[in-house]
Amino acid sequence: MAEFVIDGGARLHGEVVSSGNKNAALPLLAACLLTDEPVTLHNVPSIRDVNTLMKLLESLGASVEWPSPNTVRVHARNIRSCALDASLCKEIRASILLAGPMLAREGDITLPPPGGDVIGRRRLDTHFLALKALGTEVYTNGNFTLEAKQLIGQDIMLDEASVTGTENAIMAAVRAKGTTILRNAASEPHVQDLCRCLVLMGAHIEGIGSNTLTIEGRDRLGGAEFTVGADNIEVTSFIVLSALNGDGVWIRKASPEHLSMTRLMLGRLGIRFEAHGPDVFVPGTQDLCVEPEFDGAIPTIADAPWPGFPADAMSPTIVAASQCQGTVLIHEKMFESRLYFVDRLIGLGARIVLCDPHRCIVQGPSRLHGDKLQSPDIRAGVALVMAALCAQGQSIILNAQQIDRAYERFDEKLRGLGARIERRA
């Protein structure tokens, strides 16, 4: 089991280059199954979740290679339905994304239950209801068996704006017969990346970036070459780190056009950053102070579907709030177990009251001290690294491979900025 050994208090400076968006790379890799021609994806992060999904693609008969760093080429010329490795599916949530493409190409797939972070119940109903509307039969007997003789376009209202549910529905609809109207669709940057790549492959999709997509099905799609966009959650993490511990940090290739709500929410904590073309600059020596509501009430930072503040950014935000002067309410609406990591922050010295599974009150600034901590999930793990970098003394973050699932060379990037962090096997 890997662990990070961190000596807190180092000031960060210099520049770091953001990685490709993990949440875009995974559906894009799955979408490669929709064509028998090669698809080349650039700026793919070299992380555990990507490597796991590539193994699943290979098990289905696709040829997968890394012709150069951060470039993946997939050629799904001859694919087959087969029993997927349950242990691989258990590692990642994204295994469910194989459903739409395999139904479109082969007409059936059997999926073991997907895994991923344990942050509360993560329902699959939105996926299956959308695929059933397109003509899929769904059977459950421990695994999920999906069969579709012919996918037919429909007018579909998703019961929630699920990101992966939207992506599965899109990938099935682009090869369905006729027109699909997808309402209450998720519209995050990674969903937009998937749509734009599919258009390059020959799909017809209108309304990209909105919550209503109109998709004209195609008999076949072709190959394409596409560059994955920046990971807005990784960028947000580096913004927070740089504001708390930085003496001026540049984040290159950060896609600041996707950070408008991040600017508003972090601004309530006094955190500021500047957009310079494709890059972001975080000035040093910031006035970290919670901005109260106009009537003097305690402000709230809450997550919401895009273009709202991303749920994955909430854990780093809690650490940021612990270092700011004032009190703020954090309301994580989506996952009922995500906030349970705050007991580890409290153990470090943070003043946090967990009100219920979805809300906590943070009062800062708190003087943190080093400790030995377990990383329960990806985002909480990164938040614990942030807290350790702010703390006095040494911290050990166990289960660091959780962070490797989504953050490419995270410890190396931090060392490049001056952080005292080492990886130990």
Q: Distance between CA atoms of 269 and 184, rounded to whole angstroms?
A: 31
Q: Which amino acid is at 234?
A: E
Q: What is the DSSP letter of 241?
A: H
Q: Please say if 36 is a catalytic residue.
A: no
In this structure, how many other beta carbons lie within 10 angstroms of the beta carbon of residue 257?
12
Helix (H) or strand (E) holding 40: strand 39-42
Contact between 98 and 109 under an 8 Å Cβ cutoff? The reply is yes
Q: Distance between CA atoms of 35 and 62, rounded to whole angstroms?
A: 11
Contact between 242 and 249 under an 8 Å Cβ cutoff? The reply is yes
Of 49, 117, 193, 312, catalytic = 117
Q: Distance between CA atoms of 187 and 167, rounded to whole angstroms?
A: 10
Pairing of strands 71-75, 274-276: unpaired
Q: Distance between CA atoms of 324 and 268, rounded to whole angstroms?
A: 10
Main-chain dihedrals φ then ψ at residue 203, nearest 5 degrees: -75, 155
Q: Distance between CA atoms of 257 and 277, rounded to whole angstroms?
A: 9
In this structure, how many other beta carbons lie within 10 angstroms of the beta carbon of residue 218?
18
Residues annotated as part of the active site: 117
